[in-house]
Structure 1
Amino acid sequence: MRRARRAVAGLLEEVATRADGHPAEEAYLYAALWARQAEEAARAGEDDRAGRCGWAAQRCAETSRALLAGRGAAAAYPSPFDALPPGPRRRVPRALREELERRLVRGRDLPPIGYAHRAQHDPALTAPDRFRPAANHPQQAKPAGGLWCAPLREGGSEWTRYADDGDELVVTAVRPSARARVYRIDTAQDLQVLAAAYPRGTPDGRPPGRELTGWASPRVDWAAASRHWAAVHLTERGQQATHACEGVNLFGWDVETVLFLRPAYRL
């Protein structure tokens, strides 16, 4: 608990001096929330939980300091909106690893892509050194953070063609790293393999795969997936197959998408 408190100490003043929306702000808030959970667990005598929450607070605080120093975040940091802090890394069974590798493509294999934004947005905010790692969202199949891109089309991108305000958006081209590991989702089975390899637990801490009220389907642990994959490519066919399929699905992913889980790209 003391380690968690020390990890957060001094960060508030540093973060407060930066402009609103600085990438370090979210990591600091997560660190503070984890530290609070660590204190509550310690008071309740839950030593194991307190230790895990304290570790998560330290991880988020380290990420916040790295972002403040302009070094960027190399990997996802734990979200306090997940019920339990992450435990030891889960080994993916060999049979699943082989299935995953069959869906592997490289960054050089992707179509030309870009991300859409308002004209007043500064693309430098999404440069690799300002990248916000993908983290699990408490209520959605779409992760928080990451860089969301779509294939370029004449006059814009797949997203600007879909969005109601597409005419008001500007598209900045994104160049994936040639050897970046990309997981391609072209069928519902491709998504099922990903969810089986990186299952996400439920909000009350039950094991992965258990459905509860408010969780319409099993979820992918995007933070865990980011340890092995730089990006996910949801093809047009994959979007149609997974948008509203039974079981694990990608409801809310409305167009063909390339989601960067790690900063394996250039602008």
Structure 2
Amino acid sequence: MTITEVFAPAKVNLSLHVTGRRADGYHLLDSLVAFASIGDRLQLSQAEALSLTVSGLFADGVPEDSRNLVWRAAEGADWRGHIGLEKSLPHGAGIGGGSSDAGAVLNAFRSQGHTVPEALALSLGADVPVCMHASAARMRGIGEKITPIPLPKLPALLVNPGVEVPTGAVFSGLASRENDPMPAEVPLFDGVADCAGWLGAQRNDLEPAAIAAAPQIERVLSDLRASRAALLARMSGSGSTCFAIYPTLKAAHFAAYEIGAEHPEWWCVATELS
């Protein structure tokens, strides 16, 4: 039996500007997205019927049926077989776990010669197209406009306080849906500090509404900003995962140790974003 191994990296919104809302209710976004060196892993094996099993640190609560984006991606691509999903990323956490899983298997289906309809990725969620790209990009519109962006490797710490934040509740709590986009051009960055400095002038427009829904996010951001050598701290996506950027990976690991020791119940992982 042929088994295909697939890696689904964590997606991090380095910025997320909400720039409008269409008549059909979809929000318009302008987001700089990067991907981590950590993520979920999947195994695909051919079989007569579609099946899915979930294991790993964050398997609890992850559906193994059509409620899972991976299952829906397989159905949409008319793929049949068994999918084993090892969940290393917290779900409902603003780092695109389910979307990245779906994007990764869609890429795998294509590599196996299966037809993946162009509209399928976006129908599964706004983050799925950029997760199929799986490297730094600017995401605009409702997620369908993807522009690759060269970024330096960004040493980072991801922290999640163990609180799920419903995306719908965050968007409904927005103070404004008509906000400025990012600058027209993303510059070429001269290293990590230059990139972090530019990002400091950008925003995550969902952050205030997410903090209102889950006040623990504010504590995470406070701890990240207070950590030694942190260049920038921000929430990713609709929360509750937050990230900080550091000048070196060693500094990110040191911050992970300090914050993890103080909050052993939090998920703290040093990584690189690119």
TM-score normalised by structure 1 residue count: 0.24
Structure with the larger helix share: 1
Structure with the larger strand share: 2
TM-score normalised by structure 2 residue count: 0.23
**Higher RCO (C-alpha under 8 Å, 6+ residues apart):** 2
